[in-house]
Amino acid sequence: MTIIVKIGGSLMRGTAPRRLLARLAGEQGVVVVPGGGALADQVRAVQPQWDLSDAAAHRMALLAMEQMAHAMADLESRLLPARTPAELAEAAAKGAALWFPAAMTLGHAGIPESWDITSDSLAVWLAAEMGADRLVLVKAPGAPFLAPSGDRTADIAAWSATGLADAAFATMAVRFTGDILAVPADDGDRLDAALRTGARATELNEEAKEGSRPS
């Protein structure tokens, strides 16, 4: 079973997420996708100052993700760097792969060069390309999590509408038929459940519903 785990960029703006990376590094079959974090924020800041096109900013933001992958590899040496589908499959078969996205994404005709596309959409794009079983979006505490309704299409559209995922996520997710889950980074139990290879989407959604109810 292959599980794509995207680490939200907001988790890369403060203290380095060493514990999260260490948790993921011990999982065989996981592919870690880095968010752009503070480095992508700098692209957003400089774009209007220099009057850069969205296409140029998109490419720069992809390279911000690439730089974050280098940072993550330095923070957790057990993550296995990979750049191509073959390298990702080989690394995930041994342990936890770390995606360096530039080689697969820069200039790709199927990826619009727009701020509508962030690491969320790129993660679901990669999940479809690899035929992964599940995509897990690890978000910062306080993100606008919604209890699953049981309607996958409606739930994913709501993620884009509320800002939990980027504007293009619902469109990009059409190609991916596996499970899609969003979990807060500070909820270890839900992350553990999302990484359980034998768990079914319905089971995990029920757990998410329980976790969203007030105590």
CATH of 3-212, one of 3.20.20.140, 3.30.910.20, 3.40.1160.10, 3.80.10.10: 3.40.1160.10
pLDDT confidence of residue 111 = 96
Question: How far apart, in whole angstroms, are the C-alpha atoms of residue 178 and residue 169?
Answer: 14
pLDDT confidence of residue 203 = 57
Q: Where are the beta strands (DSSP E) in the chain?
A: 3-7, 30-34, 80-82, 97-99, 134-139, 179-184
**CB of 160 closer than 8 Å to CB of 166:** yes
Which is nearest to 39 in space by CA: 63, 16, 4?
A: 63
Our CA angle for 94, 33, 100, nearest 5°, is 80
Question: How far apart, in whole angstroms, are the C-alpha atoms of residue 211 and residue 85?
Answer: 35
**CB of 132 closer than 8 Å to CB of 3:** yes
pLDDT confidence of residue 215 = 30
pLDDT confidence of residue 214 = 35
pLDDT values of the chain reduced to their tens digit, one per residue, 215 residues? 899 999 988 888 888 899 999 999 989 999 999 999 999 999 999 999 999 999 999 999 999 999 999 999 999 999 999 999 999 999 999 999 999 999 999 999 999 999 999 999 999 999 999 999 999 999 988 888 988 888 999 999 999 999 999 999 999 999 999 999 999 999 999 999 999 876 665 556 555 555 544 33
pLDDT confidence of residue 10 = 83
Where along the chain do its domains lie? 3-212
Structure tokens at 177: 């038929």
Sign for the CA dihedral angle at 214, 146, 32, 56 comes to negative
Around Cβ 198, how many Cβ atoms within 10 Å? 6
Could you tell me the pTM of the whole model? Answer: 0.90
Question: How far apart, in whole angstroms, are the C-alpha atoms of residue 6 and residue 31?
Answer: 8
pLDDT confidence of residue 14 = 80
**CB of 98 closer than 8 Å to CB of 54:** no
170-176: long-range pairs with CB below 8 Å, 24+: 172/117, 172/121, 172/124, 172/125, 173/124, 175/124, 175/125, 175/128, 176/124, 176/127, 176/128, 176/132, 176/135
